[in-house]
Amino acid sequence: MAIDSKMADRRPDPVDIASDSGSDSESDDGSMADGPDMPLVRTQTRDTERERENARKEVVRLVAFVSSVLNALSAGGIAAFSLYGPLLLTRLHYTQFRVNVIAVTAEMLTYLSAPLFGFLCDRVRPSLVSFISAVLFGAGYLLAAFTYRSGPPASLLVGLPEDDGPPRPHGWPFGVMVIAYAIIGAATACMYFSAVTTSAKNYASSKHKGIMLAAPIAAYGLSGIWYSFLVKFFVYRGADSTAHSDGSGVDLIHGDVDVFRFFVFLAIVTFTVGVIGGFALNVVDEEKLIEVGVEELERSGLLVDTDGQYGTFRAGHGHDDTSNNIQADTHPDDKVKKTWLLNQETKLFLHDRTMWLLSLGFILISGPGEAYMNNVSLSLFSFFFSFSFFFRFYLQLSSLSLFLYVGTLTSTLSPPSAQDKPGTPLPAGEPSTHVALMALTSTLARLITGSLSDYFAPRQASTSDRRTFSRLFFLIPCALLVSLGYLVLSSPVPLSFPSLLHLTTTFIGFGYGACFSLVPIIISVVWGVENFGTNWAIVSMIQAPGAGLSGAIYSAEYDANVSDNGQCFGWKCYGFWAVGSVIGVLIAATMWMVAWRGWKRRSIPV
């Protein structure tokens, strides 16, 4: 009886059940019947499979995140333009105007092609866009490399002194170099958006979505450091010579960058990184994102009435079941459903008044910020081996006119007597110091605000007692910090204490970087990540006029007060531009507060 009692109390082991295919699991008719604990075994099996699947997805997300940072870090190779820009003048005999055309062409293609590649990231997949960037970068840099190696064009050799011997072969036309940089500019936007879109979509529901999106954005801003570190390996150390024995090509001078080899290196690196991204930039559970987006859009009621509320909603709204059923029948296929959703979200995004308030405010801050960056940096000839390439290229080359006036702010705050002393540091600081300071503060701001917004940002249906702050609590003070920087510059104090320009640079750099981090995060929260690539690309493109307009205003004011020696000193060179920048940033902060009020009215936890 004791043995029977122990046997009666013994619970069957799942392994025993699984291995026993005999009498306990077989019914009288020969079919298999579940034992008493088979549901438990199946539940445990499903849990194990689910854990394995979740672990696999996390690995895919992590690999995609690393690849996105690598893509962003490699995309800004054009920031190294300052390293070889002077050689286009001296070796290829391009005019200053033609060098400006090359740089501005690359910048404009970056801006103008952004919506196309953002669109492709959403409609197709970021990995394919990364493949496209690999092809574009490889083709663009190789075309630029061989154009440079071919030497000065025939049209630019007219009037140059003739050497003894046979006529010197001429190089490829100038237009070929312009085409090469147009391709490079488009490739820059292509690789950048493949990186940020992947991170935004993969971490849409993560509590760390801010920092995961800020990381590739910060990496893109620092990509110039990566290339500036490597460029020292491409300095020509041999004796002065020509590229070819027949006298064609470009002269190789000891101590200069070997531009041909550097271009080939850039082609190899960007092509390799783009191909890696083509395999690694995978979006996890995109189907679920689309399903959620469709449900929220249908539930919002935006498709059946126009109450002035737009955007993707994270909170529940009243809806008509019949209307929902009708809408559900219009997109039975997943691909059709995705296209339908993205078309609707693009339309709603463009008609959203708060989007335009956010974008116009972003223009009013980014435009003066880019102009300031240009005008505390070095002139084009002095860019060579400076720290100016630490920042993103379009902060250096924001408009054609600025190429003639870069590096002017530090000189306007330095008395002529101080500028006449060779070897003496400028009272306002070296331009390269300001550029490096702005790059550092901007990068830190992107990472810090991205992290803090993750921790303090409100969450939908959260039951936690933790104190939360809207992301606008970070964005608006950072904008005011930018206005404070311009306010210091517009005051007469820097004329007496030129070193205060470092304080202005710090304020503007930190606030500018924070805005570039928080604005895309807010876009992903308010309008969702299903169409993030398109939405962020649109906002990025429309900021281009702000940079050009602000730079033109500064240039006009500087030109109007320049002396006979071509220099300008004092408040009159920049004062009204600085005051206008203060007012513009305050208007931007006001616009954002109005937009914030609209989001609160819609119950969107920004």
For tokens 């007060």, name the residue. 561
Q: Which two tokens stand for residue 423?
A: 């070897």
- Cβ–Cβ < 8 Å for 308, 337: no
Element (H, E) at 76: none
Mean pLDDT to the nearest integer, 524-551: 88
CA dihedral of residues 579, 585, 589, 590 (deg, nearest 10):
50
Q: Which two tokens stand for residue 546?
A: 């702000």
For the segment 231-279, what is each residue's pLDDT rounded down to a tens digit? 788 877 766 666 555 445 676 777 778 889 999 999 999 999 999 999 9
* Residue 414: closest CA among 557, 572, 568: 568
Structural domain boundaries in the chain = 58-156+169-284, 352-459+471-601
Confidence of residue 506 (pLDDT cuts 50, 70, 90): very high
How far, in Å, CA of 479 to CA of 581, rounded? 11
Complete DSSP assignment for 354-372: HHHHHHHHHHHHHHHHHHH
3-state secondary structure of 171: strand
Q: Which residue has the higher pLDDT, 31 or 72?
A: 72
| pLDDT for the residue 237 | 72
What's the pLDDT score for residue 461? 61
Widest pairwise Cα distance in the chain: 119
* Nearest-angstrom CA–CA distance, 430 and 233: 26
Nearest to 392 by CA among 363, 359, 369: 369
User: Among 69-73, 381-385, 487-491, which is the least confidently predicted range?
Assistant: 381-385
Is domain 58-156+169-284 given the CATH code 1.20.1250.20 in the classification?
yes
Tell whether the model's pLDDT for residue 164 goes beyond 80.
no
More confident: 269 or 164: 269
- Measure the CA–CA gap between 151 and 149, rounded to whole angstroms: 5
Q: Which two tokens stand for residue 600?
A: 């609160």
Q: What is the pLDDT of residue 346?
A: 92
Task: Give pLDDT, residue 390.
Answer: 33
The pLDDT value given to residue 244: 54
Query: Per-residue pLDDT for 207 more than 90?
Result: no
DSSP per-residue string spanning 439-484: HHHHHHHHHHHHHHHHHHS--TT---------THHHHHHHHHHHHH
**What does each C-alpha distance from 156 to 166, 172, 252, 260, 472 come to in angstroms?**
18, 11, 19, 20, 54
Q: What is the mean pLDDT of the chain?
A: 78
Q: Which of 64-68, 97-101, 485-489, 594-598 has the lowest mean pLDDT?
A: 97-101
- Tell me, what's the pLDDT at 300? 67
Burial of 113-125, coded b for 16+ CB within 10 Å and e otherwise, reads bbbbbbbbbbbeb
State the pLDDT at residue 95. 84
Phi and psi torsions of 26, nearest 5°: -115, 130
What does the alpha-carbon distance between residue 584 and residue 578 come to, in Å, rounded to a whole number? 10
Residue 565 has pLDDT above 80, yes or no: no
88 sits in the region (left: phi over 0; alpha: psi -120 to 50; else beta) called: alpha
Instruction: Say if pTM beats, i.e. exceeds, 0.85.
Output: no
Q: What are phi and psi of 413, to 5 degrees?
A: -95, 0
Residue pointed to by tokens 């630029």: 144
Q: Output DSSP code: residue 162.
A: P
pLDDT at 138: 97
Tens-place pLDDT, residues 110-145: 989 999 999 999 999 999 999 999 999 999 999 999
423: left (phi over 0), alpha (psi -120 to 50) or beta: left
CA dist 511 to 75, 167, 199, 282, 519, Å? 23, 56, 23, 32, 12
As a whole number, mean pLDDT of residues 92-116 equals 87
Q: Give the separation between CA 51 and CA 398, rounded to whole angstroms.
A: 49
Model pLDDT, residue 309 = 41
What pLDDT sits at residue 405?
38
Give SS3 for 241: strand
Q: What average pLDDT does the segment 533-551 reach?
A: 86
**Least-confidence region, from 6-15, 147-156, 406-415, 533-542:** 6-15
Q: Which residues are CB-neighbours of 558 under 8 A, at least 6 positions away?
A: 405, 408, 412, 568, 573, 574
| Alpha carbons 408 and 380: distance in angstroms, whole number | 12
Instruction: State the average pLDDT over residues 432-440.
Output: 79
The DSSP string of 265-319 is HHHHHHHHHHHHHHHH---TTHHHHHHHHHHHHHHHTTTT---S--S--SS----
Fold classification of 352-459+471-601 (topology level):
Growth Hormone; Chain: A; (1.20.1250)
When computed from its CA atoms, the radius of gyration of the chain, rounded to whole angstroms, is 30
Residues 315-360: tens digit of each pLDDT:
433 333 333 443 444 445 778 888 888 999 999 999 999 999 999 9
Hey, which of 70-84, 103-117, 306-320, 473-487 has the most confident mean pLDDT?
473-487
Bigger pLDDT: 487 vs 560: 487
Predicted pLDDT of residue 141: 97
The model's pLDDT over 375-386, given as tens digits with 9 standing for 90+, comes to 765 433 333 333
pLDDT number for residue 238? 63
Q: How far apart are CA 55 and CA 251, in angstroms?
A: 56
Q: Is the dihedral of CA 362, 364, 370, 372 positive or negative?
A: negative
Please, which pLDDT band fits residue 157 given cuts at 50, 70 and 90? low
Which of 47, 58, 49 minimizes the C-alpha distance to 206? Answer: 58
Q: What percent of the chain has pLDDT over 90?
A: 39
Fold identical between 58-156+169-284 and 352-459+471-601? yes
Q: Which two tokens stand for residue 62?
A: 């992590």
Q: Give the Cα separation of 575 and 449 in Å (integer).
A: 30
Of 68, 62, 17, 109, nearest to 191 by C-alpha is 68
